[in-house]
Amino acid sequence: MEQTAKYNRVLVKLSGEALLGEGSFGISSQTVLYVAQEIKSICDLKIDVAIVIGGGNIFRGVQASVEGIDRATADYMGMLATVINALALQNALEKTDIPTRVQSAIEMRELAEPYIRRKAIRHLEKGRVVIFAAGTGNPYFTTDTAAALRAMEINSDIIIKATKVDGIYTADPVKDPNAKKYDTITYADVIAQGLKVMDLTAITLCKDNELPIIVLDLKNQGALKKAVLGDKVGTLVGGSV
């Protein structure tokens, strides 16, 4: 029986860490292939899939600025790191026969299209995965904010934030054995309780525009597909169940 997706268009936010292997730096080609397979599993449901990828596995602006690089310069370096990740993911997706386009918020026409909203939507309509690289193109922002922004621009039904944790907890589950997982939570509670789901700019943007977010663990094979099918997985922020 053909499975029916709950959402027609989704934006998956992958952190740079999603591409890490055993180490704490760089890209593991094996992990990238795993991520590509998980993405393929939702493309097979015949929905539109866009991706925003981070760069934390290569470079983080804030950290580098503490070490002496100007914050804006460090942030541009961070944005370039996201382009490297985007190319690695595009390569892996195309190996699994998923046509993919990278659009960069910072122009580098030799290796990616510039970000053009209408063109991105056209790609999605034609069944291509679109990877948005270089964040928002502005320093002092994060790729979470880029995810919220792009999701709204392309009229995505939801943001799926694929992380290392299987949802949002009352406290850090690694440090607190009594921490409890939320199945659903409101934006207001995320903000009031200072829960580290996304940075404040990103979560506020989602709240103001009523864009729901599902937080799930990407390493949990099949979780991404479950989320798209509307099965109970991870934590849903905002929206109706």
Give the footprint of ligand UDP on this chain (CB under 6 A): 15-17, 54-56, 60-62, 74-75, 78-79, 81-82, 135-136, 138-139, 141-143, 146
Backbone angles phi, psi at 239, to 5 degrees: 70, 175
Instruction: Give CA separation, 15 vs 6, 150, 168, 192, in Å.
Output: 24, 15, 16, 24
**199 contacts 143 by C-beta, under 8 angstroms:** no
**CA atoms within 13 Å, Cβ hemisphere of 77:** 15
Q: How many residues does this entry show for the chain?
A: 241
Instruction: Give CA separation, 123 vs 131, 152, 169, 188, in Å.
Output: 11, 16, 36, 34
Residues forming beta bridges with residue 162, ordered by sequence position: 14, 216
220/129 Cα distance (integer angstroms): 22
Task: Indicate the angle between helix axes 117-125 and 143-153, nearest 10 degrees.
Answer: 70
Q: How far is the CB of 177 from ligand UDP (least distance, A)?
A: 27
Of the two residues 140 and 186, which places its CB atom closer to ligand UDP in the complex? Answer: 140
Of the two residues 72 and 188, which places its CB atom closer to ligand UDP in the complex? Answer: 72
Of the two residues 100 and 143, which places its CB atom closer to ligand UDP in the complex? Answer: 143
Q: How far is the CB of 218 from ligand UDP (least distance, A)?
A: 12
Of the two residues 126 and 164, which places its CB atom closer to ligand UDP in the complex? Answer: 164
Q: How far is the CB of 127 from ligand UDP (least distance, A)?
A: 26
Task: Enter the tokens of residue 140.
Answer: 């002092």
Nearest to 139 by CA among 197, 85, 80: 80
Count of other CB atoms within 10 angstroms of residue 175: 7
Of the two residues 78 and 167, which places its CB atom closer to ligand UDP in the complex? Answer: 78
Q: How far is the CB of 1 from ligand UDP (least distance, A)?
A: 36
Of the two residues 2 and 22, which places its CB atom closer to ligand UDP in the complex? Answer: 22
Q: How far is the CB of 149 from ligand UDP (least distance, A)?
A: 8
Q: How far is the CB of 150 from ligand UDP (least distance, A)?
A: 10
Q: How far is the CB of 178 from ligand UDP (least distance, A)?
A: 27
Of the two residues 8 and 204, which places its CB atom closer to ligand UDP in the complex? Answer: 204
